[in-house]
Amino acid sequence: MKKLIVKPHLRDMRSYRDSVDPMTMLRRKVLFERRIVLLTDPVDDISARDLMEELLALDTLEKKLITMYIDSPGGYMEQGFAIMDVMIGLRSKIQTIICGECCSMATFIALTGKKKLMTANAHWMGHEMSRSSEDYYSKEKYRFEYEEKVWLQLRKFYMDKTKLTKDDMYKIDHHELWLDANQCLQKGIIDEILG
């Protein structure tokens, strides 16, 4: 009988390594004490779980401002919604700081912050919802109908939280809309530029 060998995911290995590395533990302790959390990976099960745990722990300890740094290419819609729902449900206010890139689902997370900041060299990118699935046509048809409703909900979120124009939304719907910090400030995506 063959022995089953399970190879850990690279990010799981990094998480394990980081969990026992003294310098990493010290950095995390300092950030936690200063109420700073990071979203620096794609939005998926692992990054969403870690971020939600940190937010809930900080909010449980004290109702006080939490700062979330975002440098993420985006990711899965469901996990992004989970992060947003946790942010909305906290007693603590959250300020988001975009540094590096803030794309796709990460843009919605950034907009959920009470105060929204961005570093001078960062960029923001919105695009239409993407999907990848291979299934029977009948299932795909119903999923598409559901996802169409979700996309309309996300579009409304952009329109309610920003000053994006119809032309901007057209670019988001049909291409990609890339913006620098000054453009994000003009379009109401952020409240302030840092640096």
Catalytic residue flag (residue 19): no
Of the candidates 9, 104, 130, 175, the residue annotated as catalytic is 104
CA 40 vs CA 72, 82, 99: distances in Å:
5, 17, 9
The pLDDT of residue 174 is 93
Q: So where are the chain's domains?
A: 35-194
Of the candidates 127, 133, 138, 174, the residue annotated as catalytic is 127
Q: State which fold the 35-194 domain adopts.
A: 2-enoyl-CoA Hydratase; Chain A, domain 1 (3.90.226)
Whole-angstrom Cα distance, residue 114 to residue 65?
A: 10
**Tens-level pLDDT at each residue, the chain (195 residues):** 555 554 455 555 555 555 667 888 888 889 999 999 999 999 999 999 999 999 999 999 999 999 999 999 999 999 999 999 999 999 999 999 999 999 999 999 999 999 999 999 999 999 988 766 666 777 777 778 888 898 899 999 999 999 999 999 999 999 999 999 999 999 999 999 998
Q: Which residues pair with 39 in a beta bridge?
A: 70
Catalytic residue flag (residue 174): no
